[in-house]
Structure 1
Amino acid sequence: MDMQKFRDNAWNGLWKQNPGLVQLLGLCPILAISTSMVNAVSLGLATILVMAVANLAVASLRNFIPYEIRIPVFILIIAALVTMVDLAFNAYFHSLYLVLGIFIPLIVTNCIVLARVEAYAAKNDPLSSTLDGVMMGIGLVWVLAVLGGLRELLGSGTLFAGIDMIIPSLSAVQVFGDDYPGFLIAILPPGAFFVFGLMIAAFNWLNQRSAARQRAQPQAVAQDKPGEEQPAVA
């Protein structure tokens, strides 16, 4: 895989084709589990692992999977990986596993995972497919981190609540102090839609601003060039 393809895959996953803000896939777990940054990022990391290994497996086996049964086979591969992740969370992060609940098994039906397996891994080599899964997963994680962080900050005035479920020696950061009354709607379902909508609006504004700058650059260069001398008329 050449460097240009690597850059394209990375840029597509992180920004241009971001699964959360552009493709709007997996909205159920994005909105439901993003009540805190720790919960959101934990689910995102689990999704990265599933996406990367699923893409690798499908890209490696794509020539042996009949076209007519590809979707059931893809789902079977994803389900096996999700089961392993679910058991690992239950064994090593039991408290977090209880908080995330049904959303870890629901990675099986997450449109982000199946969409990348079908759209990319089934048509490309294992290395670039694995990279695509990782980058798409990272793109989802940063969206979840920002969404979960904003909702937690507005709703309870803290950051990293629940980090002790992963690292017992750490605790949440009280950003606004212990007397912060909290903005309850931020951590309720309507707050998820409000904050996520604002994130999409900001994302689109940044893209439009970048596009306007790119259109303005050629015009500025053309204006800076000296005009051609007109031939003298006898």
Structure 2
Amino acid sequence: MNDAPPLGQIVRDGLWSNNPALVQLLGLCPLLAVSSTVVNALGLALATLLVLLGSNLAVSLIRHRVTPTVRLPAFVMIIAAFVTCAELLMAAYAFELYRILGIFIPLIVTNCAILGRAEAFASRQPPLPAATDGLMTGLGFAGVLVLLGAIRELFGQGTLFSGMDLLLGPAAAGWELTVFPDLNVLFLVLPPGAFFATGLLIALKNVIDDRLARRRRARRPAMPREERRVRVTGTIR
């Protein structure tokens, strides 16, 4: 078993530094396919979050009982079990949204981000870090998914939170906001628009990371001239 990293680092990696959608570029198929509206994105995001959290915790609990020869099949079976639970829950409580998302709910089983975290992290760490990693990775993926859905719905249809009653029930029927009544950019509604919007989000993250790195370098105290010369030449006077 590897030493577990600090929980703060796990949170930063899952939400930002190692975000599965913006850094690892995993799970792009559902990310691009169902993010045409906020409600679609949120439905898939919640299902993926549930599967990530549950599978990471389960894999961590059985990590000492699974032999290397059956590790991957066992992990896939665990993930498939949690996907089935998420699918049944959505079919029971949000059937219309379940029909809209269609095949992309069962396809969570093939999401590389979930299997990757189970193999690379959960199978080597205790339950608490593994569950935290699953939660933060799921929230990172969900955040990008919902943000992408908001961008595409807002600039593609001019609305926000359209159809939220499909997920949250009749109480959310009046949540729809018409921000741009006459805006209808078909490009953003279609799959090419999803690629374009995702590229913009990745570029924005890179810009933010670059500015943060420059600020850290600017705050770092300057090294004395004599110490710099010693490090370069390797001699001490």
> Is the contact between residue 36 and residue 152 of structure 2 (CA under 8 Å) also seen in structure 1?
yes
Number of residue pairs the alignment of both structures matches: 220
2:62 match: secondary structure? helix
1:19-30 alignment to 2 at 5 Å? Answer: 19-30=20-31
1:50-129 alignment to 2 at 5 Å? Answer: 50-129=51-130
Equivalent of residue 208 in structure 2, options 186, 189, 206: 206
State the Cα distance separating 1:45 from its structure 2 match.
1.0
State the Cα distance separating 1:219 from its structure 2 match.
4.9
> Is the contact between residue 155 and residue 183 of structure 2 (CA under 8 Å) also seen in structure 1?
no
Using the size of structure 2 for normalisation, the TM-score is 0.89
Q: Partners of 1:54 and 1:181 in 2: how far apart? A: 41
State the Cα distance separating 1:181 from its structure 2 match.
3.9
Matched to 1:206, the amino acid is I
1:228 corresponds to: none
Equivalent of residue 180 in structure 2, options 173, 176, 180: 176
State the Cα distance separating 1:221 from its structure 2 match.
9.8
1:195 corresponds to: 197
Using the size of structure 1 for normalisation, the TM-score is 0.90
Matched to 1:176, the amino acid is F
Q: Partners of 1:54 and 1:163 in 2: how far apart? A: 28
Once superposed, what is the RMSD of the aligned Cα atoms?
1.9
State the Cα distance separating 1:103 from its structure 2 match.
0.6
Q: Partners of 2:77 and 2:97 in 1: how far apart? A: 25
1:161 corresponds to: 162
Q: Partners of 1:196 and 1:35 in 2: how far apart? A: 12
Q: Partners of 1:153 and 1:186 in 2: how far apart? A: 9
Tell me, which stretches of 5 or more residues in structure 1 are unaligned? 223-234
Tell me, which stretches of 5 or more residues in structure 2 are unaligned? 225-237
Q: Partners of 1:181 and 1:217 in 2: how far apart? A: 45
Q: Partners of 1:162 and 1:14 in 2: how far apart? A: 27
